[in-house]
């Protein structure tokens, strides 16, 4: 979105004196700016960029250099999202102490001596988010694939879930709406007793087949299945989906 805004802003200067172009560019800029403002309602947009290992906060430190307050507020929002929904909860010292209070042990001179020499400092919990942010940036071709690698899954088991959740959010709703509309091809008069989970699975497989996102399917079979889907949609049917209710 920053890239598109920069293009509109450059065009506003370049075509400021062109009677036809200027209002069109201003209208486009206003629409994009409205959507850009809506990203403040959620930390998903900023979080997805920050969890791209080649960008992190360096991107916003540069893009929002003139608005440091934006950077600070969004840093707080992303960290709050991490702590509230994904970070593992450490067992607090208070809860441990409370459990000892509930089951008091008989005091003797040895226990008293042991309490005096006991290290009261608990080891700090490894913070995946802070460790990721402080690590050097690296260039990767596929961000989601990078988070699915064994290295990241081991080092960042919780942060990787947050990253995949945010990075899986579509940039716009056109594709999900199109997929939802395709459901009418699956749900025909002779196939009207499918459960919600089955319908969801069918539509996901159809969508993945179209985008060649089925790593476990043989390439030749995938090409054949994709052709069948295309042919079925042209006829208003979906031949790749068996009519499992026809014998009922």
The residue that leads in pLDDT, 245 or 80, is 80
pLDDT at 143: 92
pLDDT at 1: 77
pLDDT at 187: 81
- State how far the Cα of 16 lies from the Cα of 26, in Å rounded to an integer: 10
pLDDT at 118: 63
Q: CB neighbours (10 Å) of residue 47?
A: 22
pLDDT at 46: 92
- State how far the Cα of 170 lies from the Cα of 244, in Å rounded to an integer: 32
Which residue, 199, 219, 200, is CA-closest to 209? 219
pLDDT at 213: 59
155 pLDDT above the threshold of 80: yes
pLDDT at 146: 94
Report the percent of the chain where pLDDT is more than 70: 71
78-137, pLDDT tens digit by residue? 999 999 999 987 654 444 445 444 445 555 776 776 666 665 554 456 789 999 999 999
Q: Can you read off the two tokens belonging to residue 130?
A: 């802070």
Q: Are 53 and 137 in contact (CB under 8 A)?
A: yes
Q: Where are the alpha helices (DSSP H) in the chain?
A: 2-14, 21-38, 44-50, 56-63, 68-85, 93-102, 109-116, 128-134, 143-148, 150-155, 159-167, 174-186, 196-210, 219-235
Q: Are 183 and 203 in contact (CB under 8 A)?
A: yes
| Residues 6 or more apart whose Cβ sits within 8 Å of residue 164 | 144, 147, 148
- The SS3 call for residue 154 is helix
Q: Binning pLDDT at 50, 70 and 90, where does residue 247 land? A: very low
User: What are the sequence ranges of the domains in the chain?
Assistant: 1-41, 42-88+124-169, 174-235
Q: Binning pLDDT at 50, 70 and 90, where does residue 201 land? A: confident
- Find the mean pLDDT for residues 138-144: 91
Which residue, 44, 5, 8, 19, is CA-closest to 168? 44
- State how far the Cα of 75 lies from the Cα of 81, in Å rounded to an integer: 10
Own/partner contacts of 231-236, CB < 8 Å, gap of 24 or more, are: 232/185, 233/182, 233/185, 236/185
Cα-flanking dihedrals φ and ψ of residue 185, to 5°? -75, -35
| Residues 6 or more apart whose Cβ sits within 8 Å of residue 85 | 162
The residue that leads in pLDDT, 105 or 2, is 2
11-70, pLDDT tens digit by residue? 888 888 888 898 898 888 888 888 878 777 888 889 999 999 999 999 999 888 888 998
Q: Binning pLDDT at 50, 70 and 90, where does residue 240 land? A: very low
């Amino acid at each position: 979105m920053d890239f598109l805004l920069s293009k509109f802003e450059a065009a506003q200067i370049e075509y400021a004196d062109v009677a036809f172009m200027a209002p069109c560019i201003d209208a486009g800029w206003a629409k994009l700016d409205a959507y850009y403002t809506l990203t403040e309602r959620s930390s998903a947009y900023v979080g997805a960029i920050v969890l791209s290992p080649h960008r992190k906060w360096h991107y916003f430190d540069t893009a929002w250099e003139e608005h440091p307050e934006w950077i600070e507020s969004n840093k707080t929002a992303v960290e709050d999202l991490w702590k509230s929904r994904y970070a593992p909860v450490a067992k607090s010292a208070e809860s441990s102490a409370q459990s000892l209070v509930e089951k008091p042990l008989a005091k003797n001179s040895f226990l008293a001596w042991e309490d005096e020499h006991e290290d009261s400092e608990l080891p700090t919990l490894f913070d995946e988010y802070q460790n990721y942010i402080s690590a050097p940036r690296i260039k990767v071709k596929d961000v989601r694939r990078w988070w699915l690698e064994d290295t990241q899954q081991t080092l960042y088991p919780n942060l990787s879930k947050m990253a995949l959740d945010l990075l899986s959010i579509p940039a716009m709703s056109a594709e999900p709406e199109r997929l939802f509309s395709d459901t009418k091809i699956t749900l025909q008069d002779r196939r009207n007793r499918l459960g919600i989970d089955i319908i969801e699975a069918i539509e996901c497989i159809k969508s993945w087949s179209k985008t060649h996102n089925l790593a476990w399917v043989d390439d030749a079979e995938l090409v054949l299945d994709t052709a069948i889907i295309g042919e079925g949609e042209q006829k208003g049917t979906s031949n790749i989906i068996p009519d499992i209710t026809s014998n009922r």
